[in-house]
């Protein structure tokens, strides 16, 4: 039967080619649409993990209650804990962070800022999600000396408001951990852009030691743990939570509100489009397979006249449909891989999404698991329509089947 099915596909090669191309185009469209959604999810997840860290160690009330004074819900650094975490094979970095706000002034104009005190090595982890427009990043190691100027990395929009450029001197004013007011003179060493104008108008970075100097405290807001891969994220989070019951371990998924919102929106959009596309695919594939079988009704009548059993006749057509679906799935997989590689080579740019000022490259993520499921569904659809059409043709009276036009 297998050999006969192959010979029949080859005998009707023009019809086989046309139907196979329809099936391949349908599956390719599904894989490309799903691959774009998958790429979007992966990019948003990577951005969130690079910004927040895979795990965040903080005070239990840090994300639940507003602070009356800075660092009210801060934590003390534990060098032994950081060293122990860095010794793990799956931990890439352990970085403290200080979050605060206040006023920044150029001497003539003041505006609100959202500041982050960071370790300079954090910028190595941000990758393409933080673009330096002028100057450079903060130095990896900052020693708080009286005769050293304090470096500052400022958002592009905030720099425009203050008419600041690399080398400009600014003043930061903020409440201390005791509620007093303190000021700090800084020098702009770099201007960055996150691609989100609202953030660029308020955000700035300075060394964590300088931030602690401004807030007059040795505490930090949170400790961010970056992993090489997230397979053991839940296991590490549970171990840290049991080891440090007075602290709170938060995975990045619980803090990535933008990721959740975009994912939910895209799930609705791509889900609706996916259902419509699936209906079109079923119609196109079903019509093609049914037409192929219907046109061979006289052949079915001839086989029945020669004494072939009805089950074997139907089985032949179902097997042909299975092989046709398998060949179409292979062609669709190859064409999807070619499209992914072409987009990777030519770097087609998408326009900036809402709320952003930067475009992004159009990429398609290839998923072997998704491709396998799509191929199985395509083969099942081909077999079902072939079964329906061949049963209908095999049940026709012999004289009617032989005279079918």
Answer yes or no: is 244 within a domain: no
Whether residue 174 is predicted with pLDDT greater than 90 in this model: the reply is yes
Answer yes or no: is 159 within a domain: yes
Q: Output DSSP code: residue 218.
A: S
* Closest C-alpha among 396, 391, 394, 375 to residue 285: 375
Q: How far is CA 362 from the centre of its chain?
A: 13
E strand or H helix at 288: helix 257-294
Residues 63, 210 within the same domain: yes
Residues 100, 203 within the same domain: yes
pLDDT in tens, 149-169: 889 999 999 999 999 999 999
Residues 95, 164 within the same domain: yes
Neighbours of 207 (CB within 10 A): 25
Residues 309, 364 within the same domain: yes
Residues 116, 25 within the same domain: no
Q: How far is CA 171 from the centre of its chain?
A: 38
pLDDT in tens, 70-118: 898 999 988 899 899 989 888 888 999 999 999 999 988 999 999 999 8
Q: How far apart are alpha carbons 248 and 311 in whole angstroms?
A: 65
Calculate mean pLDDT across residues 13-34.
81
Residues 92, 31 within the same domain: no
Angle, helix 368-394 to helix 257-294, in steps of 10 degrees: 30
Q: Are 256 and 48 in contact (CB under 8 A)?
A: yes
Residues 284, 384 within the same domain: yes
Answer yes or no: is 309 within a domain: yes
| Domains of the chain: total | 2
Enumerate the β-bridge partners of residue 190.
Answer: 135, 153
Summary mean pLDDT of the chain: 83
Residues 141, 66 within the same domain: yes
Q: How far apart are alpha carbons 185 and 164 in whole angstroms?
A: 14
The token pair at 104 is 């920044």
Whether residue 54 is predicted with pLDDT greater than 70 in this model: the reply is yes
Q: Are 371 and 330 in contact (CB under 8 A)?
A: no
Answer yes or no: is 247 within a domain: no
Calculate mean pLDDT across residues 127-154.
77
The token pair at 197 is 């104008």
Q: How far apart are alpha carbons 43 and 62 in whole angstroms?
A: 27
Q: Which of 209, 229, 249 is the last residue of a domain?
A: 229
Q: How far apart are alpha carbons 169 and 107 in whole angstroms?
A: 9
- Which of the four pLDDT bands, split at 50, 70 and 90, describes residue 183? very high
Calculate mean pLDDT across residues 333-347.
89
Q: How far apart are alpha carbons 361 and 358 in whole angstroms?
A: 10
Residues 168, 66 within the same domain: yes
Q: How far apart are alpha carbons 73 and 262 in whole angstroms?
A: 30
Q: Which of 229, 244, 274 is the last residue of a domain?
A: 229
Enumerate the β-bridge partners of residue 75.
Answer: 220
Whether residue 173 is predicted with pLDDT greater than 90 in this model: the reply is yes
Residues 35, 91 within the same domain: no
* Closest C-alpha among 304, 253, 210 to residue 46: 253
* Closest C-alpha among 82, 155, 157 to residue 121: 82
Sign for the pseudo-dihedral over CA of 119, 120, 125, 130:
positive
Answer yes or no: is 237 within a domain: no
Q: Which of 210, 229, 248 is the last residue of a domain?
A: 229
Range of the domain at 75: 56-229
- Given phi > 0 = left and psi -120 to 50 = alpha, else beta, which region is 172? beta
Whether residue 144 is predicted with pLDDT greater than 60 in this model: the reply is no
- Which of the four pLDDT bands, split at 50, 70 and 90, describes residue 311? confident
Compute the residue count for the chain: 405
Calculate mean pLDDT across residues 199-216.
91
The token pair at 219 is 């505490």
Residues 327, 381 within the same domain: yes
Whether residue 119 is predicted with pLDDT greater than 90 in this model: the reply is no
Q: How far apart are alpha carbons 386 and 117 in whole angstroms?
A: 66
Residues 98, 207 within the same domain: yes
Q: Are 300 and 393 in contact (CB under 8 A)?
A: yes
- Between 385 and 94, name the one with better pLDDT: 94
Collapsing DSSP states into helix, strand and coil, what is residue 75? strand
From residue 239, give the alpha-carbon distance in Å to each of 5, 232, 265. Answer: 58, 11, 34
Collapsing DSSP states into helix, strand and coil, what is residue 183? strand
The token pair at 404 is 């079918």
pLDDT at 155: 92
């Amino acid at each position: 039967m297998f050999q006969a099915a192959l010979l029949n596909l080859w005998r009707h090669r023009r019809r086989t080619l046309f139907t196979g191309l329809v099936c391949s185009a349908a599956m390719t469209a599904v894989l490309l649409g799903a691959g774009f959604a998958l790429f979007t999810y992966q990019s948003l997840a990577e951005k969130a993990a690079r910004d927040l860290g895979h795990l965040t160690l903080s005070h239990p009330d840090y994300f639940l209650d507003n602070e009356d004074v800075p660092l009210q819900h801060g934590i003390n650094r534990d060098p032994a804990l950081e060293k122990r975490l860095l010794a793990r094979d799956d931990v890439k970095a352990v970085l403290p962070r200080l979050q605060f706000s206040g006023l920044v002034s150029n001497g003539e104009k003041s505006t609100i800022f959202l500041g982050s005190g960071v370790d300079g090595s954090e910028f190595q982890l941000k990758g393409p999600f933080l673009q330096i427009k002028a100057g450079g990043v903060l130095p990896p190691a900052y020693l708080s000396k009286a005769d050293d100027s304090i470096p500052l990395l400022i958002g592009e929009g905030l720099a425009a408001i203050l008419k600041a450029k690399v080398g400009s001197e600014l003043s930061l004013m903020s409440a201390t951990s005791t509620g007093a007011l303190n000021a700090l003179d800084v020098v702009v060493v770099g201007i960055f852009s996150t691609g989100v104008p609202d953030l660029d108008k308020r955000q700035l970075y300075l060394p964590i030691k300088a931030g602690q100097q401004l807030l007059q405290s040795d505490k930090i807001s949170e400790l961010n743990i970056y992993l090489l891969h997230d397979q053991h994220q839940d296991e590490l989070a549970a171990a840290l939570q049991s080891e440090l019951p007075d602290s709170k371990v938060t995975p990045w998924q619980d803090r990535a509100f933008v990721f959740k919102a975009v994912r939910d929106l895209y799930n609705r959009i791509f889900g609706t489009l996916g259902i419509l596309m699936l209906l079109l695919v079923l119609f196109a594939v079903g019509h093609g397979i049914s037409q192929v079988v219907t046109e061979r009704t006289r052949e079915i009548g001839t086989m029945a006249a020669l004494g072939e059993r009805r089950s074997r006749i139907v089985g032949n057509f179902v097997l042909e449909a299975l092989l046709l679906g398998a060949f179409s799935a292979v062609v669709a997989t190859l064409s999807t891989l070619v499209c992914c590689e072409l987009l990777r080579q030519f770097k087609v740019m998408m326009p900036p999404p809402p709320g952003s000022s930067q475009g992004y490259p159009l990429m398609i993520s290839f998923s072997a698991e998704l491709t396998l499921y799509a191929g199985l569904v395509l083969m099942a659809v081909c077999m079902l329509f072939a079964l329906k059409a061949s049963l209908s043709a095999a049940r026709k009276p012999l004289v009617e089947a032989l005279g079918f036009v």
